[in-house]
Chains A and B, each alone.
Chain A
Amino acid sequence: DTGVSQDPRHKITKRGQNVTFRCDPISEHNRLYWYRQTLGQGPEFLTYFQNEAQLEKSRLLSDRFSAERPKGSFSTLEIQRTEQGDSAMYLCASSLNRGAEAFFGQGTRLTVV
C-alpha cells in the first residue's frame, strides 16, 4: 500500500465555481478524516467517516461543503460556490482504530481567485 493519496494536488478555481477533491485512504483503514489547513496554522477538523457513515461534522463545514465515502472506500469532498476564504490546503487522513496513528495524504491546495 502506498499510503493515503489525494487528487488533485493543486486546484485553482474562480470564485463561485464548484470543486471536488478525492482521497484514497489506506485500504484496511475504516476511519477517514478531512482537515483544512491555512498557511502557518494547524489543521482544523472538517469531517469524519467510519466506513461509509459520516459520523461527525465540524461547524466549519458550511452547507456549501459536502463529503461522501461510498462503500467505505475512497472519499470525496465537494465545495460549492467557492469563496476566496475557502483557499487552503485540504488534508485527508485515515487510521485503523481510536488512538492509532493517523496517516495523512499530501493534501490538495485550493486557490480561489
Chain B
Amino acid sequence: AQTVTQSQPEMSVQEAETVTLSCTYDTSESDYYLFWYKQPPSRQMILVIRQEAYKQQNATENRFSVNFQKAAKSFSLKISDSQLGDAAMYFCASENQAGTALIFGKGTTLSVSS
C-alpha cells in the first residue's frame, strides 16, 4: 500500500525566514503526482503546490518550492520569506495508482512568530 510519512509533527519559523517541511513516500509507480496542501485552523484545505513525478524540474509557486528527489522518494516543501499567514497544518499527499484517492501524511503544524 502507498504510504506518506511526515516526520516533523511541529515546526516553527520566524517571519521572513525560510523553513523546510519534510515528506517521504512509498510507491511502486513510475508516473504519479505529489501534492502539498495547507489547512489553516478551522478553514478548508487548499493546494499549495503540485509535482508531476515524470518532470525533473522542481515545482515552484511564488514563495513555495519543492525539492523532489525521485530516487530517494523524498518531497520536501520550502517556504521562503515566511509570513504570519503561513501558519497552518501542512499535509503531504500522493495520488494512488488509479487516481481515485489522495494518500495523506499525518501533517506538520507550522507556527510563525513575529
Provide the B99-111 mask, 1 if CB < 8 A to any CB of A, else 0.
1111111110000
Are B95's CB and A104's CB within 8 A? no
* CB contact under 8 A between A98 and B104, given known A104-B45, A105-B44, A106-B43: no
Are A42's CB and B104's CB within 8 A? yes
Q: With a CB–CB cut-off of 8 A, which chain B residues contact A85?
A: none
Are B99's CB and A99's CB within 8 A? yes
Residues facing A in B64-108 (CB within 8 A) are 91, 93, 95, 98-107
Provide the A17-39 mask, 1 if CB < 8 A to any CB of B, else 0.
00000000000000001010000
A37 to chain B, nearest CB (A): 9
- Report the interface size for chain A: residues with CB under 8 A from the other chain: 24
* CB contact under 8 A between A98 and B107, given known A42-B91, A43-B91, A104-B44: no
Q: With a CB–CB cut-off of 8 A, which chain B residues contact A102?
A: 35, 47, 102
Are A43's CB and B99's CB within 8 A? no
User: Out of A42, A56, A101, which one reaches B50, CB within 8 Å?
Assistant: A101
* CB contact under 8 A between A40 and B101, given known A99-B33, A106-B44: no
Q: How far is the CA of A58 from the CA of B98 in the complex (A)?
A: 13
B88 to chain A, nearest CB (A): 13
Query: Which are the 9 A-B pairs with shortest beta-carbon distances?
Result: A98-B99, A42-B104, A45-B101, A99-B33, A48-B100, A104-B45, A56-B100, A106-B44, A101-B47
Can you report 29 residue pairs joining A to B where beta carbons are below 8 Å apart?
A4-B44, A33-B102, A40-B106, A40-B107, A42-B4, A42-B91, A42-B104, A43-B91, A43-B102, A45-B102, A48-B101, A50-B100, A55-B100, A56-B101, A91-B45, A93-B45, A98-B33, A98-B99, A99-B33, A99-B50, A99-B95, A99-B99, A101-B35, A102-B47, A104-B37, A104-B44, A104-B45, A104-B46, A105-B44
